[in-house]
Amino acid sequence: IPRVTGVQTCALPICDVISVQNGAIICNSARWPLMTDPQLQGINWITEREKANGLRIVQLSTPKYLDQVEQCIQEGEPIIIENMGESIDAVLEPVLARATIKKGRSLIMKLGDKEVDYDPKFQLYLQTKLANPHYIPEVQAQCTLVNFTVTEKGLEDQLLALVVQFERSDLEQQRSDLIRAENGFKVQLQGLEDKHD
C-alpha cells in the first residue's frame, strides 16, 4: 500500500466517497476499528485486503474463539470478530486497550488468565451488522467507530461506477486514478499548510 506524505492510502473496489473515507480512517487509525456494517461492505473490503496476510474470521459465539485470537496476537495475523452485539466480552478488554507489558525484549498482552506474546503486526477488526448500535463509553473510547452503512447518494455512486465499469472500463480506471491523485494532492496540501504554520 503506497504512502503519501505519511498517510496510508487504501485501494477500495468500486465505491462511493464515504466508503473511501472509511477506508482511509481504518488504514490510518491508531485504535482498532469497530465497523457498523449492515450491508457487509466493510467486511468484504477487509477480507479482500487482508486475505494474503492469513486473515481469520471468528464470532464471539464461535467455540474457543479466544484460542484463535491468541494465535493471531502471537503470530501477528489479522483477525475479524464479526456479528458483534452491543456488548464485548470482558476478556478482550486488554486487547481493545492495546495494554501491553514489556518483558525483556518482548511485549506481553494479558488475555484472560494467560500472558501472550504480542506481535506488533497483529491487526484486530470488529464488525457489527446492527444499524444503530449503542456501545458503552469505554468501548467507544478504545475503538474507532466507522459507519459503513450505505447512503442513498453512496448507492447512486456505486451503481454509476458499476455501469461505467461495465460499459467503459477505461473511463472507470481513469476516474479511479484521478480520485487517488486528488486525494494525494489534498494530503500534500495539508502537509504543506501544516509546515507553513
Mean pLDDT of 58-62: 90
Q: Does the pLDDT of residue 24 top 90, yes or no?
A: no
* pLDDT value of position 15: 60
Q: What is the mean pLDDT of the chain?
A: 84
Q: Does the pLDDT of residue 12 top 80, yes or no?
A: no
Q: Does the pLDDT of residue 2 top 60, yes or no?
A: no
Mean pLDDT of 10-33: 77
Beta carbons of 17 and 138 less than 8 angstroms apart:
no
* pLDDT value of position 3: 33
Q: Helix, strand or coil for residue 34?
A: strand
- With a pLDDT cut of 90, the percent of the chain lying above it is 32
Whose CA is closest to 118, among 140, 135, 141, 94? 94
Whose CA is closest to 188, among 2, 3, 4? 4
Between 88 and 124, where is the model more confident?
Answer: 124
- With a pLDDT cut of 70, the percent of the chain lying above it is 91
Mean pLDDT of 63-84: 93
